[in-house]
Amino acid sequence: MYGKFERDELSDFEACSDIPVAIYFRELDRRYPGSKFILTTRDERSWLDSTRAWWANTPPSDRSTLLRDMVRLAAYGSATYCEDRFLRRYREHLSQVREYFSGRAPSLLELDVAAEDKWRKLSRFLDVPEPVIKYPHARSPRLGEFRVVRREDLIEKREKLLIALTSGKPSAIG
């Protein structure tokens, strides 16, 4: 997969995450030299359980979800949940990222989301002070100490991201 990055859609942002980055990490690394990348990892069974639950709570495919489904095809090799395919893609992705950043430790942090020292590792990697709040977990009803995460908020954030990706106009996604 090769993305074209002639326009600089991300110049107004400090960070980006999730599937678009996972699909185009190589191109983004070339486009933004000196950027730092964080590869989040976790126990495979835990990751599969989480993806299964996430997909079970998203709207089914129809004409309005075409872009979402195309992104899912690019990331997971499937627009529907398929455990065998997902596990294979998860392993492939980890391997590809590790190989691509091999020998470039300052550019990549591998962060196990189940580890106890996530804030310390993340803070050192980004060269920022370690936060004094509990590390946020999206699965919990409260995201750290910030605010309640409502399904409507997630849907709105996803819609803003899709608009920004398809319109070519930066959008406040926060």
| Tens of pLDDT, residues 80-99 | 899 999 999 999 999 999 99
Tokens representing 86 are 């997902």
At 151 the pLDDT is 61
Q: Rounded CA gap, 67 and 79, in Å?
A: 10
Q: What are phi and psi of 81, to 5 degrees?
A: -70, 125
At 21 the pLDDT is 84
Cβ atoms < 10 Å from Cβ of 71: 19
At 173 the pLDDT is 43
pLDDT digit string, tens, across residues 147-163:
444 666 666 666 665 66
At 40 the pLDDT is 93
Q: How many angstroms separate the Cα of 80 from the Cα of each of 16, 24, 48?
A: 24, 21, 13
Tell me the mean pLDDT in the region 43-49. 94
Tell me the mean pLDDT in the region 105-116. 93
Q: pTM of this prediction?
A: 0.72
Q: Are 39 and 108 in contact (CB under 8 A)?
A: yes
Confidence of residue 6 (pLDDT cuts 50, 70, 90): low
Tell me the mean pLDDT in the region 120-148. 68
